[in-house]
Amino acid sequence: MNYGRMLWYDTFFIHWHVPGAQLEPRIPPGLSLDLFDGDAYVSLAALRVMGPSPGLLLPLSSIFLRYYQLNIRTYVTTDAGKGIVLLDTLVDRILPALGARLFGMPYRFAADLDLRVRDNRVSLHAPGMDIAGEINNTAPFTPAEGSLESFLTDRFRVYTRMGGATCGLRIKHAPWQLRPVRLEGALPSSITGISGAAEPASAYIGGGLDVSMVELSLVK
Instruction: Give pLDDT tens digits along the chain (220 positions).
Output: 677 889 999 999 999 999 999 999 999 999 999 999 999 999 999 999 998 877 655 566 556 689 999 999 999 999 989 999 999 999 999 988 888 887 788 999 999 999 999 999 999 999 989 999 999 999 999 999 999 999 999 999 999 998 889 999 999 999 999 999 999 988 877 888 887 777 899 999 999 999 999 999 999 8
Cα separation, 132 vs 122, whole angstroms = 6
- pLDDT for 60 equals 60
- pLDDT for 213 equals 92
Cα separation, 66 vs 43, whole angstroms = 23
215: left (phi over 0), alpha (psi -120 to 50) or beta: beta
DSSP for 13-30, please give it. Answer: EEEEEE-HHHHGGGSPTT
For residues 81-102, one letter each, b for 16 or more C-beta atoms within 10 angstroms of the residue's C-beta and e for the rest, the string is eebbbbbebbbbbeebbeebee
**Helices (DSSP H) in the chain: which residue ranges?**
20-23, 61-64, 94-101, 148-153
Beta pairing partners, 41: 17
Return the SS3 of 155. coil
Give per-residue pLDDT as tens, 192-209.
888 777 789 999 999 999
CATH for 124: 2.40.400.10
Strands 83-91, 66-77: pairing is: antiparallel
Tally the domains of the chain. 1
Beta pairing partners, 72: 44, 88
Give per-residue pLDDT as tens, 30-53.
999 999 999 999 999 999 999 887
Rounded alpha-carbon distances, angstroms, from residue 38 to 25, 34, 50, 58, 67 = 18, 9, 36, 41, 36
List the domain range (segments joined by +) for residue 160.
4-218
Residues with Cβ < 8 Å from 56, sequence gap 6 or more? none
Cα separation, 180 vs 216, whole angstroms = 33
- pLDDT for 61 equals 59
Residues with Cβ < 8 Å from 147, sequence gap 6 or more? none
Cβ neighbours around 27 below 10 Å, total? 20
**Entry pTM:** 0.94
Cβ neighbours around 206 below 10 Å, total? 19
Cα separation, 6 vs 173, whole angstroms = 10
